[in-house]
Amino acid sequence: PEKSNKEYFEFRAGNKFTTIKMYYHSPELNKKTFIKLQINFLEDLIFECKNKKANSLRWKDYDETEFKFILPEGSEWFFQSPEISCYDIKEILCEKIRAILTRQGVKSRDFIDIYLIAKNQGLNLKNLKKEVVKKIISMLKYEKYLDNLKGHMKEIPSFKIGEEEKLLIGKLDKDFHKFLEEINELLKEVIKEIENEH
């Protein structure tokens, strides 16, 4: 597709942010969906990136000998776990919270992602408030983000109960509702701090 086709390519902030969408048919969802690749040439990283081994496509307790017999020659890469540089998990959480407050509209997926990451990693979101504020302030030089934040200052973005059923295969734990109250409080505190600083 041509790079002018907005269904596949988005260029923002004078081409400093690029989004590429690669479409495929999902058998699980039984619909056309996409993998999104975002390239950001300006992001201020707060936490240092970490080197981690990437999880391979293979599964636990696989028989390497059997696979080598089945796979064609030159498939050795399948058994390797390359080391890659990736965001600190706290950076991802801060970025997700920033997105809620600077994006036009609300994506329920952000709330679910934040809940699952914080719960699985045992992280307290309030401990990241200072970093979230810093991340948001660094984005306010772009009019679009500033306008979206001003809109959210009037009405805090909130999660619509029932949305999660469309986004998940399983169910969320009962403490998800308590989490929604906590993140709502955090969003209010972040906005208050930004108003004081900006």
Model pLDDT for residues 59-102, shown as the tens digit of each residue = 556 666 776 777 777 777 777 778 899 999 999 999 999 999 99
Over residues 130-157, the pLDDT tens digits come to 999 999 998 888 888 899 999 988 888 8
3-state class (DSSP) for residue 3: coil
Q: What is the mean pLDDT of residues 104-117?
A: 91
The residue segments making up the domain with residue 111 are 88-197
Domain count for the chain:
1
Q: Is residue 73 part of a domain?
A: no
Evaluate if residue 42 carries a pLDDT over 70.
yes
Strand (E) or helix (H) holding 36:
strand 31-40
For 4, phi and psi rounded to 5 degrees? -80, -10
116 contacts 167 by C-beta, under 8 angstroms: no
Q: Is residue 111 part of a domain?
A: yes
Q: Is residue 1 part of a domain?
A: no
Q: Is residue 129 part of a domain?
A: yes
Q: What is the mean pLDDT of residues 118-122?
A: 95
What does DSSP assign to residue 176?
H
